[in-house]
Structure 1
Amino acid sequence: MSSSSHPLRRIAVPAFGPSLLFGIGEGAILPILPLAARELGSSVSAAALMVALMGIGSLLSNLPASLLTMRFGERWSIVAAALWTALGMALCASTRHLGVFAVGCFMAGMSQAVFNLARQAYLSEAVPVEWRARALSTLGGVSRIGMFIGPFVSAAVVHQWGLAGAYGLGIGALLVAAGVAVRIPDLAPRTVATAKLSFASTLRDHRHVFLTLGIGVMLVASVRASRQAVIPLWADHLGLSASVASLIYGLAGGIDMLLFYPAGRVMDLKGRRWVAVPSMVVMGTALLLMPFTHGPWTLLIAAMAIGFGNGIGSGLIMTLGADHSPPGERARFLGVWRLMADLGSTSGPALLSFLAAAMSLGIAVASTGLLALAAAGVLGHWIPRTGKH
């Protein structure tokens, strides 16, 4: 087959390689951050806050990330993000002060925003529209594979060299990611004038998209973030051991991880609605049924259904953002788009926590399922039926 029939082949290694390595680097250090914070004398709640700082750093950096990408281009923004994360990890590894450790975690979150936006903007421009969903779903899938591999490799390294080994693995993966990203082919020069554009004009000109599909994207992100807490929390509610809970979570993640390319192919050939609506309906139904599970096998079935639903939606948020982002202000539009998604990711687990404390965990889980069905309704109504921009 010729490279023209497969436009992803030309940019596969430089475009997807950094995402895989970035995922491995982050996956390597995420499990050990709370442990490292505890070694520095933090409380359990403060240790949890160190991980949350990465999400906060990403949330607050989405709009600046778009400005950085517009100023220096996608390639050098990806390189800078990988190096900045490596610097943050080095700061965490070298300090004995909890405040400096927190700065390192925040730096890693900042670079997440830059890296994710720049790679999305690059593929949105570099790949023909008829291959866009496959490119972006593959991008999301490769990142998930990296995040899946990272903790396992990190566990072996920590066993041999302690926590310092995990930092070394993460930093090494990110430095290689930066080296690979340098080889990303340059895009054609942009011809659309953007000097008079601003975030205010972007919000004004595209308010209809943000207030319709944008709300749907916030709901999707909320459900996706909540599902990561739902499975272990319900396993604990059922009295299952930590090892069984981890196994169930891992199997659900494996199903999730394997479906990214079929999801992108369906979106490209049939339209975005064919993936968006089933993804949320499957997740919503599984979450509504989860409070009725009563043991490891029934929980496994529900968890794998959640993984399947999330897997077939791989790349959905990025693809919808790329579809509606105008070429002349793509990075600025995607900055707002990713900010809305991150707001959903932040609010979902917070709502789950509130409902679990105020009512019960079962009601909280079921409410997350209702959010998923609401997302299916919003996306089903507002996504164009052809799936094309």
Structure 2
Amino acid sequence: MSSSPDHFSLRAIALPAFGPSLLFGFGEGAIFPILALSARDLGASSAAAGFIVALVGVGSLLANLPAAALATRYGERRAMVGAALFSLLGLALCLLARSPWLLGMGVFMVGLASAVFLLARQTYLVEAVPLHMRARAMSTLGGTMRIGMFAGPFASAGVIHLTGLSGAYWVSALAMLGAGLVSLSVPDLVPKASADKAAIPKISMLSMARMHAPVLLTLGIGTALVAALRACRQIVIPLWADHIGLDPATTATIYGLMGAVDMLLFYPAGRVMDLYGRLWVALPCMLIMSCCMMAIPLTGGWISLLLVCMILGIGNGIGSGIVMTIGADASPAAGRTVFLGIWRQITDIGGSGGPLLISGLTAAASLATGIATVGSLGLLAAWIFWRWLPRGRPRA
């Protein structure tokens, strides 16, 4: 890394910054499509299989604050190596599982490890990257995770064809092993604040939450709504496609094309945020996603649904890294890892609560009502960002 921030290049830190997250995302993507099938093969009901899949998100939600404590005490690199080993143990349980509850335990462990990886890389980038390139770094981090999640299922599909469902877990294990080796072999860059760390007092999570309550209760809630909208998107599209009579292959094609558009926009979005400010991306991201979600119940065939989903993918793609970038901007130099752990906890609550909300609304009213109501959350998030997100380029 150049000593001058003006000559900083993300390429110089690409391997330590993005390599572990790319491989971890690849590993998660490799097993996501077959978790429910594995549970069903072990005798789980459809409801139990859905719960087992949800344990990845539950594990990440519960691990955010412990992950912050681990990274603060042992450092980001050692925390990631430990998380890779922990995820390998979880995958071993999945491979050896002879009952649904043992499979669920392994899936839960993978979810716990994912929180450590994301928090460690976010903290690292805040320290290592100068402010004028922070959004590009965060959006690239989010983009590499999406690329890994997108490519993982394709890699596991070929192995599954030869070996059965167990092949997906072996593909995931190789990716997790690679993530651990990259984390172990590449030394951490010296963070900008390292010289002052000895003078910085330790701050408890409760004290941190009290000190930064205004930003956590405004922008934090805004980003939680972003996470809720994104989580619901993954559920809404297959449910509505089934509702209008589309076959699974068509649904998968629509979802895949949306994901491809999504992945193409992460770096341009980060550049816009760095040059013009976070609001230039956060506001259109939420307005586009909200309008598209509310438009889904108006579609009646695969062409109209594909069109709406492609625009939805554009909206989500330009928002790549926005949650991490806003959190990084708001984080203090003293106790940054603790703050980011709290920030991820809030956003993950939104990501977990969104699907529960749409499930309840669908049961109480209808699927169309649930989709439209959840879509309106994006308008609320847009208003929060308009009201509290700083205008213009970020300042130190």
Q: Is the TM-score greater than 0.5?
A: yes
Q: CA deviation at 1:314?
A: 0.2
Work out whether 1:334 is the aligned partner of 2:334.
no
- The separation in 1 between residues aligned to 2:104 and 2:256, in whole angstroms, is 28
Residue 75 of structure 1 is matched in structure 2 by: 77
Corresponding residue number in structure 2 for 1:35 = 37
Shift of 1:81: 1.4
Equivalent residue of 1:33, what SS?
A: helix
Contact kept? 2:43, 2:99, Cα under 8 Å: no
Separation of aligned partners in 2, 1:244 and 1:203: 46
Q: Deviations over 1:126-164 (max 9, x none)?
A: 101111000010010011000000001111100011122
Task: Give the residue type in structure 1 aligned to 2:47.
Answer: S
Contact conserved, 2:293 with 2:375, CA < 8 A, in 1? yes
Match of 2:212 among 202, 206, 209: 206
Deviation at 1:196, TM superposition (A): 4.4
The answer to whether 1:388 aligns with 2:391 is no
Q: Which runs of 5+ in 2 are unaligned?
A: none
AA at the equivalent of 2:189:
D
| Alpha-carbon contact 2:231-2:352 (below 8 Å) kept | yes
Is the deviation greater in 193-202 or in 351-360? 193-202
Aligned counterpart, 1:215? 221
Amino acid at match of 1:88: G
2:31 maps to amino acid: I
Q: How does 1:1-389 map to 2 (within 5 A)?
A: 5-182=7-184, 183-188=186-191, 189-192=194-197, 193-389=199-395
Residue aligned with 1:239, SS? coil
State the shift of 1:387 in Å.
4.1
Distance 2:195 2:302 in 1: 54
Per-residue CA deviation, residues 259-307 of structure 1 (Å, 9 max, x unaligned), is 0000100000000000000000011111122211111111111111111
> What is the percent sequence identity of the aligned residues?
54
Give the AA of the match of 2:344: R
Q: Give the direction of change, closer, same or farther, for the CA distance of 1:292–1:97 in structure 2 (3 Å limit).
A: closer
Q: Distance in 1 between matches of 2:51 and 2:190?
A: 39
Contact kept? 2:30, 2:172, Cα under 8 Å: yes
Q: Compared with structure 1, are the counterparts of its residues 28 and 3 closer, same or farther at alpha carbon in structure 2 (3 Å cutoff)?
A: farther
Quote how far apart the aligned CAs of 1:95 are: 2.4
Shift of 1:9: 1.3
Per-residue deviation, residues 153-195 of structure 1 (Å, max 9, x unmatched)? 1111000111221111100111011111120433242524444
- The 8 Å contact of residues 23 and 179 in structure 2, kept in 1 or not, is answered as yes
Q: Would the aligned equivalents of 1:3 and 1:10 in 2 still touch at CA under 8 Å?
A: no
Mark the runs of 5 or more structure 1 residues left unpaired by the alignment: none
RMSD, matched Cα? 1.4
Q: C-alpha displacement at 1:97, in angstroms?
A: 2.9
The answer as to whether partners of 1:273 and 1:387 remain within 8 angstroms in 2 is: no
- Looking at structure 1, the residues matched to 27 and 88 of structure 2 have their Cα atoms a distance apart, in angstroms, of 9
How many residue pairs end up in the alignment?
388
Q: Residues 107 and 190 of structure 1: is their aligned pair in 2 closer, same or farther, counting only changes over 3 Å?
A: farther
- Residue by residue over 1:181-222, the C-alpha shift from the partner in whole angstroms, topping out at 9 and shown as x without a partner, is 120433242524444411111011101100110110111111
Conserved in 2, the CA contact under 8 Å of 1:28 and 1:167? yes
